[in-house]
Structure formats: structure tokens, C-alpha cells
Structure 1
Amino acid sequence: MRTRAALLMDQPGKWEVVDTVLDDPKEHEVLVRMVASGLCHSDDHRATGDGPAPHLPLCGGHEGAGVVEAVGAGVGSLAVGDHIVTSFVPACGRCRPCATGRQNLCHNGKFLAAGSMLDGTFRMHYDGRDVARSSAIGTFAEWSVMPEGSCIKVPEHLPLSTVALLGCGVPTGWGSAVNAAAVKPGQVVIVMGVGGIGINAVQGAAHAGAAHVIAVDPVQFKRDTALRLGATTAVSDIAEAAELARSVTDGQGADAAIVTVGVVTGEHIGQAFDAIGKDGVVVVTGTGSAAEVGVPVNPFKLAMYQQRIQGCLYGMWSPAAAVPVLLHMYEQGKLALDELVTRTYTLDEVNTGYDDMHAGTNIRGVITFD
């Protein structure tokens, strides 16, 4: 079949919306009619060249929701008509991380960068060339063939244009606070960067009972949104946030600093490290250039203050476990989702959506398909 899709032809480059050819689903694969796709910064890293794109053209998008319209041989967990949210890690369920409840670290994660299907081949083609797809799903397309393990079934009464955010931004941010930082009641938490990931770290820290949730972002709109969704204070500069944390902890510093800026550098991590106190943790969730090396951290303080720097993928959650929990909180009114979608775009407006993200006018932009 043919489907329109947003492809990256060069790196760096802009997304180009073109007609592509999509193969039928093979064994343990499904055909999904996409309803919505979030405009996550991770895909923008491919366009700017910060993140690797070993195969071009590349169809972007790894945070989405849609309806299953066909299934390949051997598919047992999904049926035609099921509503799904995508998981950007097609968990196998059998490798060591999966077997120990860490599906976010499944060995199939290697396909996040490769962009091929799990058998090493491609299902999308353009102008006689194979097209890689972000995380083997490519949600910047009207139709997508994806692994069965990339789909999490959701109740049909929920709005797919909203729950699409559970494919990445919400569990990643929420889990950064609740799982990676292990925020406890009464603690002091700094969140650096209040975009599509950081705003959910704010929500998670507030839900966990943090006494002070200090949001840091240079954009006033994002600071105002953070204050509405759980932050107790919002400032424009990490130095001010660090001083605030020390002022309420007897000069010690924050219990956790969560780094969710759009393009993370070693300097950001160093600034977060300087803001935490004894037994504090820096959670690094945002990503930056794959070529950057080095973090300015004092090794004496790291050891003597018993501090940690913790990486965080998908909020340190198994996607199949995270999505139902978050959906339940959403339905109970304990998790804001609708408020995160600042604006929707057509597929043809994908570059406008990313321009708005860079301008700081969006918490999360979402592509919606008719």
C-alpha cells in the first residue's frame, strides 16, 4: 500500500512529507492506522545531527497511537480494531533485562538506532530505497507496520490524540522522578527544563510528595505551566534554583536534580550536580550530542557526599507496565494529559511543530491524522 510519511533525507536536514510504499506486516507484525504522533525532541536530534541516523531516508516518530487494521502470522496479543499506544522499545520478553522486569532495556533496543524491523529488513520504501523508521515504528506516517511488541493495547473510549503521549514523554518524565530519583515525601527536587519530558517529571515529583518542586526553564510560558501542574517554584536559572534548594535544606542542597533540557551537555549535568546535597542524585534523562564526552564533577564530593549520577531510559519502567498505571491515574484525575498538548498539527506541518518547540511555545505538539 501507499502512505504519506515525513522522511529525513539528509542529516542535518528538514522533514519532507512524501508518498512511500509500505509492505504488508510479516510474522509477529501489525499494520496500524496512525491517529496521533507526539513531536518528541528525540526525533529532532536526528534532524539536527545530534543523534545518529545510520540509515537514510528515515521516517521519524516514536511516540504515537493508532488502530490495528491488519495482523501478520503469529500475532497473538492484538486483533484488528484494537487501539494501541506505541512503545519505542519492542520488548522481546525473553532477554535478561525483560526477564528481570526491565523491558525498557530489552536487547531489541538496538533497533532504536538501526530503524529496521527485528529481522533486519525494512517495510517502508521511497524512490526505490529502503526507509529506516524511528524505533522500528515511524509514527510520522499515516500508516505504519510495526512489531507486535511495539504495541500496548489501550481502552477504546480514551482519546488517542491524548494517550499518544504515553508512548514516550509522560512515562519518561514521570518515571524520572518516581523511579530514577525515587522522590520521597518532604524532599526537594529540581527539574531542569520543563518541556514534554520535564513537565511530567514535575508531575511525578509532586505526586510522590516532594515538599519543594523547583522548575527551571528560561521560557515564562513553561514556568507558568509547571506551576499549574505541581511545581512549587519556577525560576529561569539553575543557579537560582540551587540557591533556593540550599535555603530550605540548611545549606545542603536538593535531594534530586532531574536534567530534562532539550540538548544536554556535560555542563548541564555539572550544574545539576552542584545543586544537590548529601546522598543526592542527578538524573540524566535528556540527551545531547552523541559525540560529546566529559562531565565537570568533583570526584571528592561525589564520594564523600555519597552522591549519584543516574541515567534514565523510559523512566526506568517497563512500557507494558507503565502505560496501564498512567492511564488509570489519568482516568482518576491524578495525572494531567490533556493539558500537555499545546497545539495539534497536520503531517504537512511537522517542521512548523518543531519550529514551535524550539521557540518554546509548546509543551508538547502533536500530529493528528484524519
Structure 2
Amino acid sequence: MSPQLSPAVVLDPGSGLHMQEVSTRPAGPGEVEIEVRAAGVCHSDLHVVSGDWPTDRPLVLGHEAAGVVTGTGPGVSSVRPGDHVVLSWFAPCRRCRRCAAGQAWLCTGTKAVANTLPDGTTAFTGADGRPVWPYLGLGAFTNRLVVPESAAVRVPEELPFGIGALLGCSITTGVGAVVNTAGVRPGESAVVVGTGGVGLSVVMGLRLVGADPVIAVDLSPERLAVARRFGATHTLDGAHEDVAAWCRRELGGVDYAFEAIGSPKVIETLPDMLAAGGAAVLVGMTATDATGSFNLFDLADQGKRVLGCNYGSSVGEIDIPKLARLYLAGRLPLDELVGRTRPLSEAGAAFDDLRSHTGVRTILEP
């Protein structure tokens, strides 16, 4: 089988964001070839475009996607052609100490964060024959791609591709932050700062486990209205309300404070929102060199905790099918998380949606 040429959204350090034709080689050993049907647009992609996470290589962007398996390489046993799959961007090696301990989200052997396949190569090449690299090991803003087997998670065929795409990152991260990272219990209180795709997924997760009250904070009235429908009992405009003061005054502090933006200034305010023994959960990703400061005496004296959250402390092969079943059973209202659908050629406008807080989550269809 010869490589196939497809349009792709590429970020090049020299020329910026543009559409480019790339060819994709067939799947090799331990690899799976996917026809992409839908891809989500995430702030992690925007971090690369904006330069918060610099790159010195041309990248096919995109890491939230769902599609259909069109081919498998030698040794692949978990999926076969025709299967519907969600792509898990943090493809674990399945061999390191963390993977063996059931903590795939802390895998030390994955090459995803190096923007390569497990063997350090790429399946993409440009028209000039030079390599183009898959962002987070996927490069989902194109028609066809090749991924490691551990990144292709089989899901029920009745799962809509647009919903499946969001299960690949934002939903799994947000719900996982509640269920896995924080371990929120029924009746515990929480505030969620930032109600984009990930923050709304945190709100959904909190409703799923029976948290109460649930306070959503954002600058967008549209997103706050959606947060209400997703289970928030209170909403606050972060531009006009001192959230920490409100939490102390109305609730005596909350049990959990989730930050889903990646803003150091906001993160620094989280401990002041907490009751004694509470936990701040850092879900949003900051720039790579971001730092922050806390009142260390308050953390120690009040037994407060700060929890890092990578991918919702999730194991894709376990958590993605579980979330798919919850959606299909009517337990997660994920359809409302899709703000608009655009063709792949409008990726630039989709990033503008993120910047301007327009819509909820944009889906690209190749």
C-alpha cells in the first residue's frame, strides 16, 4: 500500500499555521491506521499555536479525535479494520514502572510528549519529502493518520464521532479530575474556575458523583448558562466577583477548587477558596515555565492540598469506554458540549473560537 496524500493543519516554526498536503505511510508493527471522522479543538493545541509551548519542528496539530480503523500492522490484537475508535493522546508504553502500577497517565516510556511515534519516527511527510511530526503522537487535524496501538481505544459504533473526539482529551480529563484525581464524594462542595470544554466536563463529573453545591466561574454568560444545565448550582462572573471571598462568606470555604484554565494568577487564588482540609486541583495546563506562589503556612496549618492533574489521572483503555457507556446510557449530557462544527479548512477560525470564548467546544470534520 502506497502513502496517501491528505490535507492537514500544520504549524511550522518558520511559516506559522497553514494547510498543507501530507502523505501518510501505512501502519507498521504495533501501529494502527485511522480514518479520522471528527477532531476536537483544545487549548493544548492553542498553547502550541500561541507559542506557550514552543516547538522546533513542523507539527500536524490535533490530539482529540475519533474515527475508523482502516489498517493494522503486525502484532496488533486489540482492534481490527472497521472498528470505531477514540484516540487517546497519552499513548502509554505499557512496560514502565508507572504503567505496571496502573498509572498509565504517568507513563515514563511514552513518546507522545516528544511528538513522535513510539520508535521516535513520524508517519507524515510533506510534499518535499521532509518529515512532518504528529502533535502529541497523533496529529489529528488531517484525514488519515497512524498511531500506536495503545492510542486506539475501541468504542461502541453507536457513539457519535464528535462526542468520541472529545472523549480523547477534554471529557476524560475533566471527569477524571473529579473521580480519579480528587476522589470527590457525594455531598462535598466544589468550585470550578473556567467552564470551557474541560471545565464543563469537571462540572459533569461533579454532578455524576453527587457533589453539592457546585459553583462554576467564568467570564462568558453563555458558558455559565451551559454550566447550569450541566449541574452547577451557582454561577459567578469571575470579572466582577471575588470568588475566594464568596466561597468563604457563603460556604465557609469549599472542599475542592478546580482550575481549568491554566492561569497562574487564578491558580494562586485557589487555596483561599478552600475550607480546612480542602484540595486545589490543577486541571488546566499552563505555559511550560509558569510559576506561582501560595501562603505556605496556611497550607500546612489548615491541612490544605494542591493536586496536579494530568489527563484526569485516567487510563484511556479503561476510562474512555466507561465514559462512552455513561453517555449512551444518558448519564453524561455531552451533546451540549459541542458548540459548533467546522470543516478542517476552518481550523484557524476554530482557534479564534477558543480565544474569544465563542461557543463551547468546536469540532472539525476532515
Q: Shared fold by TM > 0.5?
A: yes
Structure 2 residue runs without a partner (length 5+): none
* 1:310 is aligned to 2:307: yes
Once residues 240 and 180 of structure 1 are traced to their aligned partners in structure 2, the CA distance between those partners, rounded to angstroms, is: 26
Per the alignment, residue 220 of structure 1 pairs with: 221
Whole-Å separation in 1 of the counterparts to 2:48 and 2:202: 24
Question: Secondary structure of the residue that 2:163 maps to in structure 1?
Answer: helix
Matching residue's letter, 1:6: V
Partner Cα distance (1:359, 1:33) in 2: 30
> Which residue is 1:166 aligned to?
167
Q: Distance in 1 between matches of 2:211 and 2:96?
A: 35
> What's the % identity of the aligned pairs?
36
Aligned counterpart in structure 2 of residue 51 of structure 1, from 45, 50, 53: 53
For the residues of structure 1 that align with 2:246 and 2:289, how far apart are their CA atoms? 33
Matches within 5 A, 1:20-59: 20-53=22-55, 55-59=56-60
Q: Which blocks of at least 5 consecutive residues in structure 1 are unaligned?
A: none
Letter in 2 for 1:283: V
Q: 1:323 and 2:320 equivalent?
A: yes
Indicate the larger mover: 85-94 or 221-230: 85-94
Q: CA RMSD in A?
A: 1.5
Aligned-partner Cα distance in 2 for 1:92–1:82 = 22
- The one-letter code of the counterpart of 1:112 is A
Shift in Å, 1:23? 1.3
Query: 3-state SS of the aligned residue for 1:107?
Result: coil
Q: 2:271 aligns with which of 260, 270, 273?
A: 273
| Matching residue of 1:9 | 12
Give the match's secondary structure for 1:65: strand
Tell me how far apart the structure 1 counterparts of residues 330 and 158 of structure 2 sit (CA, whole Å): 16
Q: How big is the shift at 1:321?
A: 1.0
Q: 2:284 aligns with which of 286, 292, 295?
A: 286
Structure 1 residues 267-296: Cα deviation after superposition (integer angstroms, max 9, x where no partner): 211111111121111100111211222x22
Q: Any idea what the Cα deviations from partners look like across 1:16-62, whole Å, max 9, x if unmatched?
A: 11111211111101110000000011011001011132x42101111
Question: Which secondary structure does the structure 2 equivalent of 1:146 belong to?
Answer: strand
Q: CA deviation at 1:244?
A: 3.2
Distance 2:249 2:188 in 1: 13
Matches within 5 A, 1:1-370: 1-10=4-13, 14-53=16-55, 55-109=56-110, 111-126=111-126, 127-237=128-238, 239-249=241-251, 251=252, 253-261=253-261, 263-265=262-264, 267-293=265-291, 295-369=292-366
Task: Flag as ranges the 4+ runs of structure 1 deviating above 6 A.
Answer: none
Contact 2:112 2:118 survives alignment (8 Å): no
The separation in 2 between residues aligned to 1:90 and 1:112, in whole angstroms, is 6
- Name the count of aligned residue pairs: 361
Q: Any conservation in 2 of the 1:5–1:142 contact (CA below 8 Å)?
A: yes
Q: Is the 8 A contact 1:35 1:368 kept in 2?
A: yes
> What residue identity is the alignment partner of 1:60?
L
Kindly indicate whether the alpha-carbon contact (under 8 Å) linking 1:188 and 1:245 is maintained by their aligned counterparts in 2. Answer: no
